[in-house]
Amino acid sequence: MKFFIDTANLKEIQEAYDLGVLDGVTTNPSLMAKEGIKGDANVRAHYKSICNIVDNNVSAEVIATDLENIIKEGKELAKIDDKIVVKVPMIKDGVKAIKKFSSEGIRTNCTLVFSAGQAILAAKAGASYVSPFIGRLDDISQDGLELIAQIRQIYDNYGFDTEILSASVRHTMHLIQCAEIGSDVVTCPLNVITSLLNHPLTDSGLAKFLADHKKVNG
């Protein structure tokens, strides 16, 4: 399973990359705004900085919502770097744009997916990745992980090669259950990745090993 980090913060991206387990980055307009990045030139420069840290798979989201402008903006984003994946919302013109990008070899991530039907549309249009939002479904008392399982089964039934990129992953149990279901990718904040390190028995076991070593070696 690939690990993407869901942030536009360069320090966090570098920290996850340095851990040696990072396969990509997802951003969205809210995450870019959180970093105070504004204006087309600054946005593009920021995406380039992200691409300079990681090896591949940097999702850059279009702001446009009509076909002509999604295509125009997506092509501009794709020109920034070969690592860019154009992130397109699950709307009618978004699906049309994904089909067009896919026919031109531009990789896409279909975002804001909340149902199996939307995931089928994204795959049929040729999306490279589909992003179902687990946490936001849980927030409205629907089972986000159940949606991941449903999409996994449907994609396997038909051999769709769109990768399931589980998003809005809020904690380690989400991540682990995504792995059990067979999600191709998870994207999550840095703290979810680093929380995977934690176990009290690891801490107490290491303390005991070091104490026993010190008893003999001084």
Q: How far apart are CA 148 and CA 120, in angstroms?
A: 12
For residues 167 and 187, the answer to whether their CB atoms sit within 8 Å is yes
Q: How many residues lie near ligand G3P (CB under 6 A)? A: 10
For residue 138, give the amino acid letter.
D
- Cβ 190 to ligand G3P shortest distance, Å: 13
Q: Which two tokens stand for residue 162?
A: 């769109």
For residues 59 and 36, the answer to whether their CB atoms sit within 8 Å is no
- Cβ 145 to ligand G3P shortest distance, Å: 14
* Residues 61-90 contacting ligand G3P, CB under 6 A: none
Please report which helix (H) or strand (E) contains residue 113, including its range.
strand 108-113
Name which of 56, 61, 5 is nearest 30 in CA terms: 61
Q: Which of 118, 168, 177, 183 binds ligand G3P (CB under 6 A)?
A: 168
Q: How far apart are CA 212 and CA 98, in angstroms?
A: 60
Q: 162: exposed, middle or buried (C-beta count within 10 Å: 0-12, 13-18, 19+)?
A: buried
Closer to ligand G3P by Cβ: residue 100 or 175: 175
Q: Which of 3, 13, 23, 26 binds ligand G3P (CB under 6 A)?
A: 26
* Active-site entry in 11, 79, 87, 215: 87
Closer to ligand G3P by Cβ: residue 48 or 136: 136
- Cβ 27 to ligand G3P shortest distance, Å: 8
- Cβ 164 to ligand G3P shortest distance, Å: 13
Q: Which of 166, 187, 190, 193 binds ligand G3P (CB under 6 A)?
A: 187
DSSP symbol at 104: T
| Known active-site residue 124 | no
Residues contributing to the site for ligand G3P (CB under 6 A): 6, 26, 28, 133, 135-136, 167-168, 170, 187
